[in-house]
C-alpha cells in the first residue's frame, strides 16, 4: 500500500530527524533495522562477540557480496575519519575478503563528505584493487527505507495516525497527525 502524501511527509521528517540525531551504535542499529526489513533473509546484522568484536563488519548483504561499515561519530574530523576507515577496511579485508566484493562506508554526515574524506576512500581501492569501495549517506539510506511498505516503515519510524478532527472555514477537513 502506498503512503498518502501527508504520511509520506511526516515519515520524511522523522527519517531526517533520526538520521541527524542518532550517533554511534544507535545509528548503526537504525541502519541495520532498515536493511533487515528491506532485505529479509539476505542482510545479516553483525553483533560484536566478546574480544573478537564484529571483525570490522557492521552488516553484510549476501546477494550483493557487500560488507557495510557504519561510522556515525558526534564530530567527523578528518584525522579520525582517515584512521577509522583505513583500520576498518584493512580489518574487513583480513577477516572477510573471501565473502565480499564491495565495501560500503555508511555515514551520518547530512552534508556529505569533504574532499579529503573522499580521497581517503578512493585510496582504499588502491590497497585492494578487486574490492569496490563506496559510501552511503542520507540519500542512499533514505531510498532503502522508502522502498519498504507502509507497515515496515511504521515499524522503524513509528506509526502515523491521521484523524479528521475539525473543519476549516470552507468546511474542508483539517487533518492532524498524532503518534
Per-residue pLDDT tens digits for 101-111: 999 999 999 88
Per-residue pLDDT tens digits for 119-150: 999 999 888 889 999 999 999 999 999 999 99
Per-residue pLDDT tens digits for 45-54: 998 776 676 7
Within 8 A by CB and 6+ apart from 85, the residues are 69, 71, 105, 120, 121, 124
DSSP 46: -
Grade residue 8 by pLDDT with cuts at 50, 70 and 90. very high
Which pLDDT score, from 0 to 100, does residue 111 have?
87
**In 3D, which of 36, 6, 62 has the Cα closest to residue 152?**
36
Amino acid at each position: 500500500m502506498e503512503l498518502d502524501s501527508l504520511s509520506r511527509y511526516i515519515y520524511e521528517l522523522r527519517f531526517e530527524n533520526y538520521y541527524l540525531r542518532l550517533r554511534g551504535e544507535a545509528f548503526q542499529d537504525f541502519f541495520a533495522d532498515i536493511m533487515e526489513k528491506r532485505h529479509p533473509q539476505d542482510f545479516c546484522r553483525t553483533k560484536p562477540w566478546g574480544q573478537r568484536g564484529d571483525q570490522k563488519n557492521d552488516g553484510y548483504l549476501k546477494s550483493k557480496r557487500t560488507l557495510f561499515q557504519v561510522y556515525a561519530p558526534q564530530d567527523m574530523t578528518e584525522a579520525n575519519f582517515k584512521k577509522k576507515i583505513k583500520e576498518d577496511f584493512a580489518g574487513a579485508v583480513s577477516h572477510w575478503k573471501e565473502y565480499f566484493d564491495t565495501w560500503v562506508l555508511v555515514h551520518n554526515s547530512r552534508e556529505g563528505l569533504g574532499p579529503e574524506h573522499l580521497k581517503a576512500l578512493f585510496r582504499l581501492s588502491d590497497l585492494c584493487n578487486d574490492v569496490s569501495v563506496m559510501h552511503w549517506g542520507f540519500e542512499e539510506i533514505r531510498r532503502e527505507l522508502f522502498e519498504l511498505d507502509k507497515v515496515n516503515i511504521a515499524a522503524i519510524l513509528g506509526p502515523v495516525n491521521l484523524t479528521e478532527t475539525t473543519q476549516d472555514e470552507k468546511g474542508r477537513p483539517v487533518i492532524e497527525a498524532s503518534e
